[in-house]
Amino acid sequence: MSAVIDAHHDDHHHGPAKGITRWLYTTNHKDIGSMYLWFSFIMFLAGGVMALVIRAELFQPGQSFVEPHFFNQMTTMHGLVMVFGAIMPAFVGLANWMLPMMVGAPDMALPRMNNLSFWILPFASLMLISTLFMEGGGPDFGWTMYAPLSTTYAPDSVTFMIFAIHLLGASSIMGAINIIATILNMRAPGMTLMKMPMFVWTWLITAYLLIAVMPVLAGAVTMMLFDIHFGTSCFDAAGGGDPVLFQHIFWFFGHPEVYIMILPAFGIVSHVIPAFSRKRLFGYDSMVYATSSIAFLSFIVWAHHMFTVGMPLAGQLFFMYATMLIAVPTGVKVFNWISTMWQGSMTFETPMLFALAFVFLFTVGGFSGVMLAIAPADYQYHDTYFVVAHFHYVLVSGALFSIFCAVYYWLPKWTGFMYSEALGKLHFWLSFIGVNLAFFPMHFSGLAGMPRRIPDYALQFANFNAWSTVGAFVFGLSQLLFLYLVIKCIRGGQKATAGVWDGAEGLEWTVPSPAPYHTFSTPPVVK
Amino acid sequence: MAQQEAGGHEAYYVPSESKLPVWLAFGLGVMLYGLGAWMNSAQTGGHGKELLFVVGFVVVAIALYRWFAAVIEENHRGMNSAQVKRSYVWGMGWFIFSEVMFFAAFFGALFYIRFLALPWLGGEGEKGITGQYLWPDFTVDWNAGTNPHPQWATPDATLAAPPLTQWLAYLPFYNTVVLLTSSVTIHVAHTALKEGNRSKLNLWLGITVALGILFLILQMAEYVHAYRDLGLTLNTGIYGSTFFLLTGFHGFHVTLGTFMLIVMLARCLKGHFTKEDHFGFEATAWYWHFVDVVWLGLFLFVYVF
Ligand code: HEM
Ligand SMILES: [Cu+2]
């Protein structure tokens, strides 16, 4: 340890260390941000392969490629890997890279814990994915882990899934604590709360959500663990417990969790749309208040996932109206983005294309959400492909598109080179077409009654499913293009200026591209 | 003597490199993988799967020890500016909040079961139809710990609180007194530290440690009583489940808190901490107050009501 301590005098002057230990031992927010982003991309590919297995099986009715039991493992692991391995770490990676630069801080507030948060992920994910190779197979009860499928009837490997979730949760909580400390404690002088960039605001609120609900998830899986191994009966009605209790606890976590995956996206889009409209963000204050109200409301709507379990009528009504209420602040945000573009001098570089697609397609997902929120109608929609369509519109063309948007927007700042605009646009259009082809037909098959998570279906759904599969493969394969584009951009290209985009504002654009290894060892003054 | 930068702003200390995080992550992974393997083999009566868990635990313990040692060392060298210290304060505060939410899940489960699910299983309330169809013979008696299905053992008695007049012979009451007192004693120790009165500090901190240990001993007696005399176990249905999960996780946190207190006592005896700078101590005190408050919730909702 003493070596570390002695080295601090020249902390701010040396660049990255050499070799593999640079990544193992680093405390630098940019290194850690890069590791998060690469990790999430690998998990994205892993989860993507699972999705393609699902879609291949569903290309035609009947059993074609995989056993039903394996199909169940694929739907489960696809969900878990994408949520905990791809989307969440990608946002944390972006936070790592951008937050310190946006608030004018030298690094994250707790740099070593930052590295710990990251390095837990590979171990946890290894543990999670290894369950697929265990005797009895991996978890096969859906990412929502409903008891008693996940307790009484679960394969042995569920124990490892539980511990993997504990680890992932611990990583998220530490990440969130770090982000809060950074934002509240390390802003440059003059940067008051209401001057913070929107990405900072949305991440601050997201971090609170994380700290509030990840422990609840930990509680839920801990109860599972005890039911499985120590004979408790939390989720067993015979012993006085209740399987529905699991759903309540899970969704108390689960609904805020979906906002954890979308609030940072709101932040990103609130940077990109003004930049390419060459106007200030319309209604900054209302954006902040809308984000806060969404976060608050997200705690009191969880049972809209459970309308069909047999809740008392008063409960159904409460959760129905509370859920619909969320559409109001969400509408405020969409309105503000559109007003920002109004009469702007817009250009349509790749980040802007993704941002625009985000606004459109996320809104489509929001609309199907409001449909689902109508309790009596949800009796029909629940557990059909309509729900699958809904959450893929908000998560793929919402959260994931915003991540692409962010990568294109900040990639020149990270690498110092411009990416290939032609390839970027190609990636965008292929993704855009792929997503819609894959998920739009699911609205129809769902409304017609096709249940989710079933490896076979009635003949009447054949056409919709064939299209969905084609779309999924187009989308999946076009991500390899993205990988190629990013590697190409890292290795060279047209030099990026400090400002990169002519309408972009914020502290990150005041430092050179690529951003030096240490930025803002002396805080800038914000006026 | 935190470094001064031009403009009079104190530099924020960013440690350059550290081996600890990746080792700690590795240790945690091995430890939990080992624990899973151990649990699964125990399920089928197997043995000898503890090793991986132990190895992981040792790695975690060493990494944590060296990590805290490093932070203390940095602080003694004056590398932590007021701003860095504020980060630690935020960190500890929000960590405790996350712990509160962990317990909230278990309290939420308790309330849901007691006030909604169980009455329904007993055929009462808006969803009483569940009980009428599935468990027509079941009547709810929370304090007796009865269960819908006869396959589940029922304890001879539960630990619910007797009338107030008999509390002097009621062990959880003493637990409450001990823990509440310890919250006061740690506060006295903290005041002494701020006054610079070291011997008073050591005395009251020592008393707090003793009270923490006493609580744990009483809690063990309580568990033995529950298990042996009353037949209340994890296997006696939902009453036993909520009772042992809530008190068990609380007891685990008290153990952790007592360990932290012991470390603080050792550090006080070594002459660590100053009147103005003693966040390690404060963080431990906060943690201790937190386990105390959780106990109050437990006492009220698990025992009394
Ligand atoms: C206006 C906003 C929204 C409303 C009103 C809404 C409403 C709903 C409802 C009622 C369901 C349950 C459907 C059912 O299972 O029958 C649902 C499911 C879901 N929603 Fe949303 N939602 C909204 C936004 C979002 C956002 C922003 C995300 C994520 C970024 C999201 C992700 C999900 C997911 C993942 C599920 C399905 C979970 C599962 O069962 O596996 N939703 N939504
Ligand atoms: Cu929801």
Tell me the mean pLDDT in the region A303-324: 96
Residues 28-87 of B with CB under 8 A from A: 28-29, 32-33, 35-36, 39-40, 42-43, 66-67, 69-70, 73-74, 77, 79, 83, 86-87
- List b or e across A134-170, with b for residues whose CB sees 16 or more CB atoms inside 10 angstroms: eeebbbbbbbbbbbbbbbeebbbbbbbbbbbbbbbbb
Q: What is the pLDDT of residue B153?
A: 84
Q: 3-class SS at B2?
A: coil
Nearest protein CA to atom 41 of ligand 1, as residue: A144
Q: 3-class SS at B10?
A: strand
Q: 3-class SS at B47?
A: coil
Q: CA A321 to CA A315: how far, in whole Å? A: 10
* CATH number for the domain harbouring residue B228: 1.20.120.80
- Both B175 and B288 in a single domain? yes
Confidence of residue A59 (pLDDT cuts 50, 70, 90): very high
Cα-to-chain-centroid distance, residue B5: 42
- For residue B54, tell me if it sits in a domain: yes
Q: What is the pLDDT of residue A232?
A: 95
Provide the 10 A C-beta neighbour count for residue B128: 14
Range of the domain at B45: 11-80
Interface predicted TM-score (ipTM)? 0.95
Q: CA A366 to CA A265: how far, in whole Å? A: 14
Give the nearest chain B residue to A213 (CA atoms). Answer: B101
Instruction: Give B146 or A120, the one with higher predicted confidence.
Output: A120
- For residue B44, tell me if it sits in a domain: yes
Q: Which candidate in A259, A284, A393, A467 is catalytic?
A: A259
Q: What is the pLDDT of residues A204-253, one digit of tens each?
A: 999 999 999 999 999 999 999 999 999 999 999 999 999 999 999 999 99
- Both B204 and B171 in a single domain? yes
Asked if B32 and A166 come within 8 Å (Cβ–Cβ), the reply is: yes
- Both B58 and B99 in a single domain? no
- For residue B6, tell me if it sits in a domain: no
Q: 3-class SS at A95?
A: helix
Q: Which among B80, B112, B128 is the end of a domain?
A: B80
- Both B93 and B32 in a single domain? no
Q: CA A485 to CA B166: how far, in whole Å? A: 76
SS3 assignment for B66-113: HHHHHHHHHHHCCCCCHHHHHHHHHHHHHHHHHHHHHHHHHHHHHHHH
Nearest protein CA to atom 36 of ligand 1, as residue: A391
Q: What is the pLDDT of residue A2?
A: 33
For residue A495, list its beta bridge partners: A417
Q: What is the mean pLDDT of chain A?
A: 95
The stretches of A59-157 forming alpha helices (DSSP H) are 68-80, 88-103, 111-130
Q: CA A122 to CA B156: how far, in whole Å? A: 48
Q: CA A37 to CA A27: how far, in whole Å? A: 16
Torsion angle in degrees (nearest 10) through CA of A268, A269, A272, A277: -160
Asked if A11 and B86 come within 8 Å (Cβ–Cβ), the reply is: no
User: CB pairs below 8 Å between A and B: how many?
Assistant: 259
Q: CA B252 to CA A361: how far, in whole Å? A: 47
- For residue B262, tell me if it sits in a domain: yes
Residues in chain B within 8 Å Cβ distance of A167: 28-29, 32
How many domains are there within chain B? 2
- DSSP 8-state class, residue B156: S
Asked if A521 and B39 come within 8 Å (Cβ–Cβ), the reply is: no
- For residue B169, tell me if it sits in a domain: yes
- Both B166 and B291 in a single domain? yes
Cβ of A392 less than 6 Å from ligand 1: no
Low-confidence ranges of chain B (pLDDT < 50): 1-8
Substitution site in A258, A294, A393 for ligand 1 pocket (most atoms within 8 Å of beta carbon):
A258
Q: How far is the CA of A251 from the centre of ligand 2 (A)?
A: 7
- For residue B72, tell me if it sits in a domain: yes
Q: Is B78 left (phi over 0), alpha (psi -120 to 50) or beta?
A: left
- Both B60 and B88 in a single domain? no
Confidence of residue A114 (pLDDT cuts 50, 70, 90): very high
Q: What is the pLDDT of residue A14?
A: 63
Q: What is the pLDDT of residues A468-502, one digit of tens each?
A: 999 999 999 999 999 999 999 999 999 999 999 98
**Do the Cβ atoms of A74 and A475 come closer than 8 Å?**
no
- For residue B168, tell me if it sits in a domain: yes
- Both B47 and B130 in a single domain? no
Cβ of A330 less than 6 Å from ligand 1: yes
- Both B230 and B249 in a single domain? yes
Tell me the mean pLDDT in the region A170-191: 96
Q: What is the pLDDT of residue B5?
A: 43
Q: What is the pLDDT of residue A141?
A: 96
Would the pLDDT of A199 be above 50? yes
Q: What is the pLDDT of residues B159-179, one digit of tens each?
A: 888 888 888 888 999 999 999
Q: Which among B56, B80, B104 is the end of a domain?
A: B80
Where exactly are the structural domains of chain A?
Answer: 32-256
Q: CA A310 to CA A224: how far, in whole Å? A: 22
Provide the 10 A C-beta neighbour count for residue B7: 9
Residues in chain B within 8 Å Cβ distance of A244: 117
- Both B29 and B103 in a single domain? no
| Range A509-512, long-range pairs (CB < 8 A, 24+ positions) | A509/A413, A511/A101, A512/A416
Torsion angle in degrees (nearest 10) through CA of A374, A378, A379, A384: 170
- Both B153 and B15 in a single domain? no
Q: What is the pLDDT of residues A10-21, one digit of tens each?
A: 444 567 888 889
- For residue B171, tell me if it sits in a domain: yes
Q: What is the pLDDT of residue A136?
A: 93
- Tokens standing for B29? 């992974």
Q: Which among B25, B58, B80 is the end of a domain?
A: B80
Catalytic (active site) residue A457: no
Substitution site in A202, A305, A363, A367 for ligand 1 pocket (most atoms within 8 Å of beta carbon):
A305
**Do the Cβ atoms of A270 and A339 come closer than 8 Å?**
no
* Closest ligand to Cα A260: 1
The stretches of A278-346 forming alpha helices (DSSP H) are 284-297, 313-341
Q: What is the pLDDT of residue A6?
A: 37
Residues in chain B within 8 Å Cβ distance of A523: 9
For residue A208, list its beta bridge partners: none
Q: CA A242 to CA A235: how far, in whole Å? A: 4
Q: What is the pLDDT of residue B4?
A: 44
Give the relative orientation of helices A198-229 and A88-103 as an angle to the nearest 10 degrees.
140
Tell me the mean pLDDT in the region A128-150: 96
- Both B252 and B211 in a single domain? yes
Q: What is the pLDDT of residue A7?
A: 38
Cβ of A390 less than 6 Å from ligand 1: yes
Residues in chain A within 8 Å Cβ distance of B130: 310
Q: What is the pLDDT of residue A264?
A: 98
Q: Which fold would CATH assign to domain A32-256?
A: Cytochrome C Oxidase; Chain A (1.20.210)
